[in-house]
Amino acid sequence: MLVIAHRGARGELPENTLLAFESAIEGGARAIELDIHQHQGEFWVIHDKWVNRTTDGNGPLTWHSYDGLKSLDAGKGERIPTLDETLKTLAGRCAVNIELKGLDDINSLVEHLELAVNEYGFAEGQLLISSFNHHWLAELHRIAPQYKLAALTANKPIGLCQFAQELGAYSVNVDIDVIDGQMVDDAKKRGLKIFVYTVNREEDWKRLQTLGVDGIFCDKPVDAVRYFSGITDQTRHWPN
Ligand code: G3P
Ligand code: MG
């Protein structure tokens, strides 16, 4: 079972900050999920379009300049990290799932991924790009097919995991509200990994283990790593 630290060690520390990512790694997480929005050519590691919930600022990200965003407190004195800073800091020490929430220029994203591989110590197999926007994933697959894709869904589609297979995805990342044995079996039949978000309760960890999912996104990764000790995936790559 792969434990993926959801927005870092979000249960204990401010989400999507370098502090939360470091803490997740120190606690034994081998994979981290983060969210990005593109604004003025920069990728900002933040979940919401608005800064209100996670910082001491107000308004949409797009109202702010680079310096303005960097002056905001994202919790415990942390700053909103850029994707570049984050990849440079993580430096291949864990697998990373970059969830695309806002995207203007896909070529710029590919440049960031290339930099991660060529300069920051990541192997291509450590990077996984996900989104609920499957059009972005299709475009990424067209221009840079070497990167692994994860098709996110909060639904149980009529065609089950067919949409993910059609995208050429590596995994289907499914909401815990809709996961069931039929989805898991269908993903496996199609050669897709299946990861489930967001799973914070032990009862659900047990149930999903029985169902045979490949990984879980968790806000308390240290607890989940401890729970699955012995069968936690030890690699820092997305498993084959
Ligand atoms: O990638 C899994 C999960 O993060 C998707 O939902 O809203 O937490 O980004 P959200
Ligand atoms: Mg996310």
Q: Is residue 233 part of a domain?
A: no
CATH number where 49 lies:
3.20.20.190
Ligand 1 pocket: which of 170, 217, 219, 238 to mutate (most atoms within 8 A of CB): 217
Q: Is residue 56 part of a domain?
A: yes
Q: Is residue 129 part of a domain?
A: yes
Q: Is residue 237 part of a domain?
A: no
Q: With b meaning 16 or more CB within 10 Å and e meaning fewer, what string describes 144-160? A: beebbbbbbbeebeeeb
pTM of the full structure: 0.98
Q: Is residue 8 part of a domain?
A: yes
pLDDT tens-digit series, residues 109-119: 999 999 999 99
pLDDT tens-digit series, residues 204-235: 999 999 999 999 999 999 999 999 987 766 68
What is the domain extent for residue 70? Answer: 2-228
Ligand 1 and 130: CB distance under 6 A: yes
pLDDT tens-digit series, residues 70-88: 999 999 999 999 999 999 9
Ligand 1 and 195: CB distance under 6 A: no
The total number of structural domains that make up the chain: 1
- Residues with active-site annotation: 6, 47
Q: How far is the CA of 134 from the centre of ligand 1 (A)?
A: 14
